[in-house]
């Protein structure tokens, strides 16, 4: 009935419809995937990955600017170009040129100088490596539905393009590393930003909490009638599970009830943090992540994956103003979070990384930009080989060799698979399990980009 992974690889792209929609219709194929499963011994050390998803597609080309070629940048980006003197200078040794960070990211400058911040250049979904001429002559080799928010978010979070997958690479990594947590009751993946396919595995599911913690059930006391009602409610949750919606809804409530007490108790006994976080969308989420990390001993957990997000990056208009505020939240929150990990003594154990739907067009539409493709991303942590670029900075020329067209939608030279594989391997995924988490990893040259020790 279902196809095996071998069939997928044999047939390549041509045998399978691309796209998230088809993937979701052919879920049976994914479930039938054979995969090696290495039995991992319980971990003795603690490690965590923190995915910071920038929703809407962050414009990479005003986030990091090539200062050595500022004149060309200002000429092309005209109405949205940032003033030269406002940019925060950085010089990546592997590239050699001088670049400038967006002024709102001043909070990251010290992380760069301390070599705790790495920048991965021109990353994005790819089925296989592409040049401009290959992109133009072979539409069948492109990822499906480029430049569409929902599809590109999906491809970033699932770590797959064609064939598409119905699970996230965070979830699949968890599926293959559950043994590291031995018999921990607390789930491996926690989202502070709601539902996300990133954390959905074949078995793994996200556990969702708010920036203020888990939500407690109200209205029950120690009275007999209250107990009768509570018992009735718990019994109802065990019934009628042959109906898919009933089972799904019931499982969520059950998990919420079972985990809330454990989590609330653990948070209450964890020592309070001194580090001050920005009072902001991302700041409040990362603060909760740091509190959860501080409670890891009570939760009995050695490996955790966290998901947070910041929205508003779809700057079709008013880009300069909007990105100004958003990147300030990002920079200050990442800096505060790193400081918190230092305070907790786990800075070497936590790796935080950004993702986004796409970068944006190098040329503007007036006050903003449209959907692009390749983008640049930040990796922060004590185990990061920071202060440098990884991957290749694209040629920022319209209709140039890096452009997929004429307005600067740059073709990535680093795939999501390579980015994710580097992170997942550090996390504890066994190399032999890499193809199960990233089926197309064999299409690319650099499963370890080298930004982690």
Partner 1 sequence: MGPTQAHIGHVQKVGYAAFLQEQFAEAPSTYLDFVQTAATVDDTYKVNALRNRPFINALHGNDQLRQRVALALSQILVVSSRDIYDGPGMAVYMDILVRNAFGSFRTLLEEITLNPAMGHYLDMVNNDKPNPSRHRTANENYAREVMQLFSIGLYKMNPNGSLKLDAASRPIPTYDQPVIENMARVFTGWTYGPLPGATPKAHNPKNYLAPMVLWPANHDTSAKTILDGRGLPAGQTGDQDLAAALDALFLHPNAGPFLGRQLIQHLVTSNPSPGYVARVAAAFADNGSGVRGDLKAVVRAVLLDTEARRAPTTDFGRPREPILFITTLLRRLGATGDGWGLTSSASNMGQNPLSPPTVFSFFPPDYQVPGTLLFGPPLEIYTESTAIRRSNFVNTLVFGTVGVPSYAPPGATSVALDLTPWINLAGNPAALVDDLNARLMGGRMPADMRATIVQAVTNTSATSPTTRAKTALYLVATSAQYSVQQ
Considering only residues 281 through 340, tell me which ones interact with partner 1, judged by CB under 8 A.
Answer: 311, 314, 316-317
Site string for partner 1, 402-441 (x = CB under 8 A): ---x-x----------------------------------
Chosen residue from 1, 133, 225, 279 binding partner 1 by CB under 8 A:
225
Element (H, E) at 341: helix 319-344
* Nearest-angstrom CA–CA distance, 32 and 176: 16
Residues 71-110 binding partner 1 (CB under 8 A) are 76-79
Closest distance of CB 251 from partner 1, Å: 9
Pairing assessment for the beta strands 117-124 and 99-101 based on DSSP bridges: unpaired
Query: What secondary structure does DSSP assign to 292-307, as a single string?
Result: HHHTHHHHT-SEEEEE
CA nearest neighbour of 279 among 207, 201, 336? 336
Q: Which is nearer to partner 1, 106 or 398 (CB)?
A: 398
- H helices of 106-243, in order, are 106-113, 132-137, 149-158, 169-175, 224-236
315 and 360 Cβ atoms separated by less than 8 Å: yes
Query: Rounded to 5 degrees, what are φ and ψ at 97?
Result: -80, 165
The two tokens of residue 357 are 């739907």
* Nearest-angstrom CA–CA distance, 409 and 131: 13
- Give the binding-site size for partner 1 (rule: CB under 8 A): 90
Other CB atoms within a 10 A radius of the CB of residue 91 amount to: 15
Does 371 contact partner 1 by CB under 8 A? Answer: yes
Binding window for partner 1 (CB under 8 A); candidates: 94-102, 178-186, 202-210, 300-308: 202-210
What SS3 class is residue 377? strand
* Nearest-angstrom CA–CA distance, 4 and 400: 40
User: CA 444 from chain center: how many Å?
Assistant: 20
Long-range CB pairs of 7-13, under 8 A, 24+ apart, other chains included = 8/163, 8/439, 9/439, 9/442, 13/127, 13/140, 13/141, 13/162, 13/163
Does 202 contact partner 1 by CB under 8 A? Answer: yes
Residues 160-199 binding partner 1 (CB under 8 A) are 166-167, 191, 194-195
Q: Which is nearer to partner 1, 5 or 27 (CB)?
A: 27
Does 395 contact partner 1 by CB under 8 A? Answer: no
- What 8-state DSSP symbol labels residue 413? S
Chosen residue from 209, 282, 310, 416 binding partner 1 by CB under 8 A:
209
Binding window for partner 1 (CB under 8 A); candidates: 178-186, 245-253, 272-280, 419-427: 245-253
172 and 32 Cβ atoms separated by less than 8 Å: no
Residues 15-34 binding partner 1 (CB under 8 A) are 15-22, 24-25, 27-28
155 and 434 Cβ atoms separated by less than 8 Å: no
- What 8-state DSSP symbol labels residue 219? S
Chosen residue from 43, 320, 392, 398 binding partner 1 by CB under 8 A:
398
Q: Which is nearer to partner 1, 183 or 235 (CB)?
A: 235
Does 236 contact partner 1 by CB under 8 A? Answer: yes
Site string for partner 1, 45-64 (x = CB under 8 A): ----------xx--------
Does 222 contact partner 1 by CB under 8 A? Answer: no
Binding window for partner 1 (CB under 8 A); candidates: 211-219, 343-351, 413-421, 427-435: 211-219
Chosen residue from 342, 370, 383, 392 binding partner 1 by CB under 8 A:
370
Closest distance of CB 299 from partner 1, Å: 15
Binding window for partner 1 (CB under 8 A); candidates: 107-115, 248-256, 298-306, 342-350: 248-256
Chosen residue from 10, 86, 94, 240 binding partner 1 by CB under 8 A:
240
Closest distance of CB 182 from partner 1, Å: 23
């Amino acid at each position: 009935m279902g196809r095996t992974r071998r069939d997928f690889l044999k047939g390549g792209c041509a045998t399978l419809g691309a796209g998230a929609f088809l993937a979701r219709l052919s879920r049976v194929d994914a479930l039938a995937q054979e995969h090696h499963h290495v039995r991992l011994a319980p971990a003795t050390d603690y490690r965590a990955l923190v995915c910071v998803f920038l929703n809407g597609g962050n414009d990479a080309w005003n986030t990091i600017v090539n200062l050595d070629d500022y004149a060309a940048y200002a000429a092309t980006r005209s109405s949205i170009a940032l003033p030269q003197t406002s940019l925060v200078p950085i010089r990546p040794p592997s590239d050699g040129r001088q670049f400038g960070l967006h002024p709102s990211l001043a909070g990251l400058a010290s992380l760069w100088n301390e070599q705790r911040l790495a920048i991965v250049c021109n990353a994005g979904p790819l089925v296989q490596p592409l040049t401009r001429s290959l992109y133009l002559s072979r539409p069948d080799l492109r990822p499906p539905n480029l430049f569409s928010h929902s599809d590109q978010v999906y491809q970033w979070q699932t770590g797959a393009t064609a064939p598409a997958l119905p699970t996230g690479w965070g979830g699949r990594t968890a599926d293959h590393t559950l043994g590291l947590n031995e018999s921990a009751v607390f789930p491996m993946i926690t989202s502070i930003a709601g539902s996300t396919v990133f954390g959905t595995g074949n078995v793994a599911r996200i556990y969702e909490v708010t920036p203020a913690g888990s939500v407690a059930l109200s209205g029950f006391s120690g009275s007999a009638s209250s107990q009768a009602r509570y018992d009735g409610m718990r019994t109802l949750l065990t019934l009628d599970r042959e109906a898919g919606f009933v089972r799904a809804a019931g499982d969520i409530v059950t998990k919420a009830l079972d985990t809330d007490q454990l989590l609330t108790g653990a948070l209450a006994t964890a020592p309070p943090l001194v580090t001050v976080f920005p009072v902001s969308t991302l700041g409040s989420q990362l603060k909760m992540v740091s509190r959860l990390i501080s409670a890891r001993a009570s939760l009995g957990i050695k490996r955790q994956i966290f998901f947070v997000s910041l929205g508003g990056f779809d700057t079709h208009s008013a880009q300069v103003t909007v990105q100004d505020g958003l990147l300030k939240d990002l920079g200050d929150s990442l800096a505060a979070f790193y400081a918190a990990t230092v305070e907790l003594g786990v800075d070497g154990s936590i790796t935080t990384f950004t993702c986004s739907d796409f970068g944006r067009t190098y040329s503007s539409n007036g006050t903003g930009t449209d959907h692009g493709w390749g983008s640049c991303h930040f990796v922060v942590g004590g185990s990061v080989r920071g202060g440098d670029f990884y991957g290749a900075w694209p040629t920022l020329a319209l209709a140039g060799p890096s452009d997929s067209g004429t307005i600067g939608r740059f073709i990535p030279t680093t795939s999501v698979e390579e980015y994710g594989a580097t992170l997942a391997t550090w996390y504890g995924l066994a190399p032999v399990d890499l193809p199960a988490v990233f089926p197309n990893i064999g299409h690319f040259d650099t499963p370890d980009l080298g930004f982690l020790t």
